[in-house]
Amino acid sequence: MAYLALDTSTEHLSLALSHKGSVIAHDWHVGQRHAEQTLPRLEALLAEAGVARADLQGIAFGMGPGSFTGLRIGCGIAQGLGFGLNVPVIGVSTLEALAQGSGADKVFACLDARMQQVYVARYLRGNDGWQEVGEALVCNPDAVPVPEDAGWTGVGSGFSAYGDVLATRLGQHLAASEPARFPLARDVLALALPRFAAGLGRPADEATLVYLRDKVALKTHERAAK
Amino acid sequence: MLVLGIESSCDETGIALYDTDTGLLAHRLHSQIAMHTEYGGVVPELASRDHIRRVLPLTETCLAEAGKAIADVDAIAYTEGPGLAGALLVGASVANALGFALQKPVVGVHHLEGHLLSPLLAEPAPQFPFIALLVSGGHTQLMAVRGIGQYELLGETVDDAAGEAFDKSAKLLGLSYPGGPQVSKLADTGDATRFKLPRPMLHSGDLDFSFSGLKTAVLNLVKKEQQEDGTLDDATRADVCAAFQEAIVDVLTRKCLAALKQTGMKRLVIAGGVGANRQLRAGLDDAAKRRRFEVFYPPLALCTDNGAMIAFAGAMRLKYAAADYQFGVKPRWDLASLPAA
């Protein structure tokens, strides 16, 4: 019984494998070279763990938000693996993976969304995992939702790209920050394992992505109105 | 050998299963045209987002139709280029992960080689060597084809592709994107003799094409003939379409004849979306009778982008299939650079 997780939503490639109660995880800075590196590195990881492809019982992947192209490579690979091996697939929020990876209980997860925007979501650690406060969204850094209470830990690349703007916006509500943390496969795996156990894995053809930025082009009549 | 083909280079997701012994078992296509129409053209990001939703469901439909399981597949072919990088990556990712999971080899296919070889899926299939006219929204090329991977470019468009000229002229005529097929339809009801449009580069002495001047001529004609409200009356619009289509067909036909004459070949193959054009087929069939050459077309359903041509071209290139799953895509890729199979 082994489970695999992958995340390709940033310039990192992150893989994690759980097998016989232990987890092996690796991360590499690959820039935009996920396509050429993911499957060969997965092959090496399986060999390192002594796990055959047929031992895999489920595939988890970072389902966004993040780099559109990176996300689709990860989702496409998860689909291909899940369908080819006939095992269920689970997509996990990259923002929730940030929360999972931090040591904090109150997490203000924030990823650089490019185009002067950020992806944000807030999570509270509960008895049954993370509880999302409000909704994940994409917005300008100076317009992120401000929590009502204090003690939040800011996590993710949004805090390195827009640290000053976010510090001003969030003020005393922010207790600490981990700007260097990125979504890791080991955290995707940690969030997915109980879901696989609960039978929440889905057929590979249902594996989908969350982009948050859904307006990517103007329709003809919208361009005309400009 | 059972080959799964995956095409996702632009705005159509195509999946097919081709058996090297028994032929094409199943093919399925999802066109995104309706989605992109609201935007007046293909939006690459939206194209990619749609491909990732379609590849597996279409694959399942093909498998069910062929009575096969995914584990029966012996090799996977996918479009490696040319095309939209993000869209190509979707097919490439799923194809390579499937190969990895099944421990089966994967082969990247040149999209235009797929088109070029698609007439071989028809009965009767042409023998090598032949002249190929590859004519679509993205390409207008004449090639001498001496075998698989033995392609010599004889001439190509120096500006717009023929299909692009159809779509751009459609826009000038107030027809919605992609208007090419509508131009053809209206042309059938119009009088091609009322207006005379130029035949660019017909006497250039080479096998190159140019269609942007024809588009400008359509623009000037529309300006001259428009009514007070800036539109054309229906009869005039149909007549412009007829004149336009006749000009394009005339140029394509005569350049094909010149290519046959130059090379001494006796077989002509038409591939690509514009190859579905009825008047083009009629004109070529007529010329073939008079000039004693044979002309071959892909099955109508395989004129557009499709997975069948990718599965077939992949099957012809199985010796290049690899199992290292270290993939990439080639948004720009010269067809003449392919090795012989």
Query: Which tops the pLDDT comparison, B178 or B25?
Result: B25
pLDDT of residue B221: 95
Average model confidence (pLDDT) across chain A: 97
Helix (H, G, I), strand (E, B) or coil at A13: strand
Q: What is the mean pLDDT of residues B96-106?
A: 98
Chain A closest-CA separation from residue B339 CA (Å): 22
For residue A10, name the pLDDT band (cuts at 50, 70, 90). Answer: very high
pLDDT of residue B227: 87
Subunit contact A39:B103, Cβ cutoff 8 A: no
Q: Residue B251 annotated as binding?
A: no
Subunit contact B97:A72, Cβ cutoff 8 A: no
Q: What stretches of chain B show up as alpha helix (H) in DSSP?
A: 33-37, 44-66, 85-102, 111-117, 162-172, 180-187, 212-225, 234-263, 278-291, 307-316
For residue B176, name the pLDDT band (cuts at 50, 70, 90). Answer: confident
A138 closest CA partner among A102, A114, A174, A107? A114
What residue in A sits closest to B91 (Cα-Cα)? A76
User: Is 90 exceeded by the pLDDT of residue B230?
Assistant: no
Cβ atoms of B150 and B130 closer than 8 Å: no
Selecting from A76, A78, A217 the residue whose C-beta is nearest the C-beta of B39 gives A217
Per residue in A22-50, pLDDT (tens digit) is 999 999 999 999 999 999 999 999 999 99
pLDDT of residue A145: 97
Q: Residue B180 annotated as binding?
A: yes
Per residue in A139-165, pLDDT (tens digit) is 999 999 999 999 999 999 999 999 999
Domains and CATH numbers, chain A: 2-94+183-225 (3.30.420.40), 95-178 (3.30.420.40)
Q: What is the pTM of this model?
A: 0.95
Determine which of B13, B73, B326, B330 to mutate to test the interface with A (most A C-beta atoms within 10 Å): B326
What residue in A sits closest to B95 (Cα-Cα)? A80
Q: Residue B115 annotated as binding?
A: yes
- Calculate the CA B214 to chain-centre distance: 21
Q: B179-189: buried (b, 16+ CB within 10 Å) or exposed (e) per residue?
A: bbbbbbebbee
What residue in A sits closest to B327 (Cα-Cα)? A36
User: Is 90 exceeded by the pLDDT of residue B138?
Assistant: no
Residues within 8 A of A (CB atoms), B 39-58 only? 39-40, 43, 45-46, 48-49, 52-53, 55-57
Subunit contact B59:A69, Cβ cutoff 8 A: no
pLDDT of residue B336: 87
Q: Residue B167 annotated as binding?
A: yes
For residue B228, name the pLDDT band (cuts at 50, 70, 90). Answer: confident
Torsion of CA B178, B183, B184, B190, to 10 degrees: 170
pLDDT of residue A152: 98
A91 strand-pairing partners: A61
Q: What stretches of chain A show up as alpha helix (H) in DSSP?
A: 34-49, 68-85, 94-101, 158-161, 163-170, 185-197, 220-225
For residue A226, name the pLDDT band (cuts at 50, 70, 90). Answer: confident
Subunit contact B94:A68, Cβ cutoff 8 A: no
Average model confidence (pLDDT) across chain B: 95
Whether B101 and chain A come into contact, CB under 8 Å, resolves to: yes
Number of A to B CB contacts under 8 A, please give it: 114
Per residue in B299-317, pLDDT (tens digit) is 999 999 999 999 999 999 9
Per residue in A108-145, pLDDT (tens digit) is 999 999 999 999 999 999 998 999 998 999 999 999 99
- How many percent of chain A have pLDDT more than 90? 96
**CA-based torsion, B151, B155, B160, B163: positive or negative:** negative
Q: What is the mean pLDDT of residues B288-297?
A: 96
Q: What is the mean pLDDT of residues B147-164?
A: 96
- How many percent of chain B have pLDDT more than 90? 92
Helix (H, G, I), strand (E, B) or coil at B182: helix
User: Is 80 exceeded by the pLDDT of residue A83?
Assistant: yes
Tell me the backbone φ, ψ of residue B11, rounded to 5 degrees. -115, 20
Q: Residue B111 annotated as binding?
A: yes
B16 strand-pairing partners: B5, B27
**A interface with B, Cβ–Cβ below 8 Å:** 35-37, 39-40, 42-43, 53, 68-69, 72-73, 75-81, 83-86, 204-205, 208-209, 211, 216-220, 223
Per residue in A154-196, pLDDT (tens digit) is 999 999 999 999 999 999 999 999 999 999 999 999 999 999 9
Selecting from B40, B96, B329 the residue whose C-beta is nearest the C-beta of A39 gives B96
